[in-house]
Amino acid sequence: DGGITQSPKYLFRKEGQNVTLSCEQNLNHDAMYWYRQDPGQGLRLIYYSQIVNDFQKGDIAEGYSVSREKKESFPLTVTSAQKNPTAFYLCASSIRGVSEQFFGPGTRLTVL
Amino acid sequence: QKEVEQNSGPLSVPEGAIASLNCTYSDRGSQSFFWYRQYSGKSPELIMSIYSNGDKEDGRFTAQLNKASQYVSLLIRDSQPSDSATYLCAVKGAAGNKLTFGGGTRVLVKP
């Protein structure tokens, strides 16, 4: 089955800890994206990558970091510098040059 | 800051009726427009894409685009309880491949 997987589904973090969220896709898509969604809100773009070894900041990149070493993988690290990390994190991918994005199931992060 | 605006709702419609959702955007150069459906606790699912002025129909869904007035709408005909969800409008701007999302409209279909 082709698709996007995210792990873990739920993640709990203590204040001051860094955590890494996984996103893998086997759709052969070039572009990958990370969004954050807060309760009752739309999606806000954190980082995106159009090709391997290249990525750009989105609208709310502060306190986050990413890497893109492989086409199929785009992990997101939520650092201790992120002031309010509790949110629903969504990974998406698309064919390069095509606007339609498809989403993984998401990771719900809670800071204790 | 490019914006996409939606009425947060909830939009309550009786089963079998037409649900009408609206979305306005500020970037006049926007080129592509999308509607996503998001069930509570789940990730968004793409249901409609529209790129040119006019109507596009897919099953019970019709997307309508008016670039001159900078709005895009979604009609859901013969609404079913399973259509109860939040509908997100997303817009691709003039440059790059990024999407800007509206806050979503919550739809409740009552049997």
Q: What is the pLDDT of residue A96?
A: 81
Token look-up 């572009």 returns A31
B45 touching A, CB under 8 A? Answer: yes
Q: Do A43 and B44 touch (CB under 8 A)?
A: yes
| Closest to A79 in 3D by CA, of A62, A104, A67, A92 | A62
Closest approach of A112 to chain B, Cα-based (Å): 20
- What's the pLDDT tens digit per position in A95-112? 987 889 999 999 999 998
The mean pLDDT of chain A is 94
Ranges of chain B with pLDDT below 70: 1-2
Distances (CA, A) of B19 to A2, B31, B108, B109: 32, 25, 9, 9
- What is the structure's pLDDT at B1? 61
Residue A66's H or E segment, with its range, is strand A64-66
Per-residue pLDDT tens over the stretch A23-68 = 999 999 999 999 999 988 889 999 999 999 999 999 999 999 999 9
Task: Name the band, by pLDDT with cuts 50, 70 and 90, for residue A2.
Answer: low
CA distances A36 to A11, A85, A105, B57, Å, are 14, 9, 13, 30
Best of B8, B23, B99 to disrupt the A interface (most A CBs within 10 Å) is B99
Chain A residues whose CB is inside 8 A of the B45 CB are 103
B99 contacts in A (CB within 8 Å)?
45, 99, 101
